[in-house]
Amino acid sequence: MGVTISRSILTGMKKASTAASPREACGLLLGAGDRIERFTECANVSDAPEIRFEIDPAALFAALRGERAGGATLLGYWHSHPSGDASPSRTDAAMAAPDGRLWVILGGEYVTCWRAGDGGLWDRFVEETLLVI
Ligand SMILES: [Zn+2]
C-alpha cells in the first residue's frame, strides 16, 4: 500500500517550490488509483501567498472537466511551505474538504503525503506512505 510517485515528478515539484519561494508553490496531482503520474503547477491566487495557497480555480475546473471527459483523475493537490515544515498547517486543514484527495506537501528537503478525510492530524489529514519509484 501507499501512494507512488516518480523521482522526476518530485524533482519537478521541488524546483517549482524553490523558484516560488518565499511564496508557496501549488498545483494539481493527476494519475490513476494511488499512482501520481503527472503534476501541474498552478498560479497561487491567495491574497497571502507567503503563508497559504489557493489554486487558480480555472486550472482546477479544467482538470475536473478533463477527468469527466475520461482523462486522468484529479488525485489531489501539492503545495510548498517555504518555512521548511512539511506537515499540514491548521490553515491547510481549514481549507481541505474531507474528499479523500491527496495532499502532498514540500518543506525544504522533506515531502509528506496525506489523505483528506475525517480524523488524523487536525482531524483532517491521515498520513500516507509516499513510495518513490
Ligand atoms: Zn500548507
Per-residue model confidence as pLDDT tens digits over 11-61: 999 999 999 999 999 999 999 999 999 999 999 999 999 999 999 999 999
- Ligand 1: centre distance to CA 24 (Å): 8
Per-residue model confidence as pLDDT tens digits over 58-82: 999 999 999 999 999 999 999 999 9
Per-residue model confidence as pLDDT tens digits over 87-101: 999 999 999 999 999
- Ligand 1: centre distance to CA 66 (Å): 26
What is each CA distance from 121 to 46, 99, 101, 114, in whole angstroms? Answer: 23, 15, 15, 9
3-state secondary structure 97-120: CCCCCEEEEEECCEEEEEEEEEEE
- Ligand 1: centre distance to CA 8 (Å): 22
- Ligand 1: centre distance to CA 28 (Å): 14
Amino acid in the structure at residue 111: V
pTM value? 0.96
- Ligand 1: centre distance to CA 105 (Å): 7
Structural domains of the chain ordered from first start: 3-132 (3.40.140.10)
Q: Is 132's pLDDT higher than 90?
A: yes
- Ligand 1: centre distance to CA 81 (Å): 6
- The H or E element containing residue 93 is helix 90-95
- Ligand 1: centre distance to CA 69 (Å): 30
- Ligand 1: centre distance to CA 87 (Å): 8
